[in-house]
Each structure stands twice: as structure tokens, then as C-alpha cells.
Amino acid sequence: MESAPLQSTLPAHIWRGKEHKLNPLGYVPSGFTNIDERIHGWPLGTLMEIVPHQIGIGEFSILIPALARLSQDSRWILLVCPPHIPYAPFLSRMGVDTSKVIITHAQNINDAGWCMEQGLRSNSCSAVIGWIPQITEKMIRRLQLALEAKKVLGAFFTKPMTIYKNNPTPWRIIVRQADNETLIDIPKRRGGSPISGISISNLLHQTCCGFA
């Protein structure tokens, strides 16, 4: 007796690995065609961890087109503990309304996490971006809880590493360079399978890191 193909025997509600569940809160276009065609843009209401292989390879630049779009909102863009002062003339040229950008610094990691959490809970921000190299699992869970059900872009940058510790962040984005190209890998994303080797060099070569 010939057996039926497995797919034909699965109930309709079974999730298949190739399927991607769209983010219910939507996405903000990333400004990179290769990214938007694959993952619709950066997810709103979902915390993203951005991990560069090394500092200064364009890790902040991957967010700038999205921040330009979000700066047209009446809400604020909160940057928590950026490593350098953002270069306002460059951000303006890239379309970011710098009058909507707020920068805050903290004395330690716990204070930085608190600043991000308050920004996410305030309902006054369209984006909250932090630089927290030694973030803890507890802090990640608190930030995601604060971000749930909000149409806000939430992301944090961690320290460069080549071996990635598993943590509860719903999305992990790795920025790396290979053969003179800037690439991103997404080894973890809520509702979808991993993606690797998305080239973003065509736009990044027109930009800088965004800092003075």
C-alpha cells in the first residue's frame, strides 16, 4: 500500500517551517530593497538585538532610513547611550528630522535599561534605540514586555562577537563584512525562519556611521 505524502496528511493548522507569520503590528520600511523584499522591513512592537562583527561597519546606518520615516511622526526618537554624538547634518541629509531626536546617557547598564524601558512605556516615542553591550536576560524580557502591543521600533546594540549567546530577544540581526560587502544575517526572528547573507552595500556606501 502506497503511503500518502506527509503534507497531505497534516492538519491545516500545523505550522510549516517555510511559512512566515506576519507581524500583527506591522513594519517600518528599512529603506534597503534587499531587506524589505525578504522581511517586509523592521518589525514594530518587537525587540531587535543588533550585533556587529566589529564597531563602525555601518551597524547604526541600517536603521537610519527607518528613523527618517519615523521622524515624520509627532512622537520622539530616543537614543540611549550612543557611543558618540550623532552627526546632525548627516542625519538631516538622510531625511531624519533631528528636532524629534532625544539623546540620554546613563551611568551604568541598569540605568540604561531603565531609560529604554521608560521610553517604550511612555507612548511618546516612535523609536527607542539603545547601546547596551552587557545586557541581561531579565532586562531583555522587561524591554520586550514594555514594547508589546506598541507600534514602536525598539532595538539595542550589543558588543561585537563571533559566538552568539542565546537569549530571549525575539529578533537578532548580525552585521558583518565579507568580500568588501556589508551583509546582514537574521539567525532569529519571531514568526519566521533564519535568513543569511542579505547585501546592503549599495546604500551603505552612500552613508557613514551617523556619528560625528
Give pLDDT tens digits for 72-128: 999 999 999 999 888 899 999 999 999 999 999 999 999 999 999 999 999 999 999
Could you identify the residue written with the cell 568588501? 180
Please name every residue paired with 78 in a beta bridge, in sequence order, or none if there are none.
Answer: 102, 128
22 versus 143: which is more confidently predicted?
143
Q: What is the pLDDT of residue 16?
A: 43
pLDDT above 50 (res 21): yes
Strands (DSSP E) along the chain, which ranges?
Answer: 27-28, 42-43, 48-52, 76-80, 101-104, 125-131, 153-157, 171-178, 181-188, 195-199
Q: What is the pLDDT of residue 101?
A: 97
Q: Which residues contact 92 (CB under 8 A, 6 or more apart)?
A: 98
pLDDT digits (tens, 9 = 90+) for 40-73: 999 999 999 999 988 888 899 999 999 999 999 9
What structural domains does the chain harbor? 23-204 (3.40.50.300)
Considering the entire predicted model, what is its pTM? 0.85
What is the full DSSP assignment across 69-80? HHTTSSSEEEEE
Q: What is the mean pLDDT of the chain?
A: 85
Alpha-carbon Rg for the chain, nearest whole angstrom, is 18
Residue 142 and residue 154 in contact, taking contact as beta carbons nearer than 8 Å: no
Please name every residue paired with 79 in a beta bridge, in sequence order, or none if there are none.
Answer: 103, 129
Tell me how far apart the alpha carbons of residues 54 and 35 are, in angstroms, rounded to a whole number.
Answer: 21
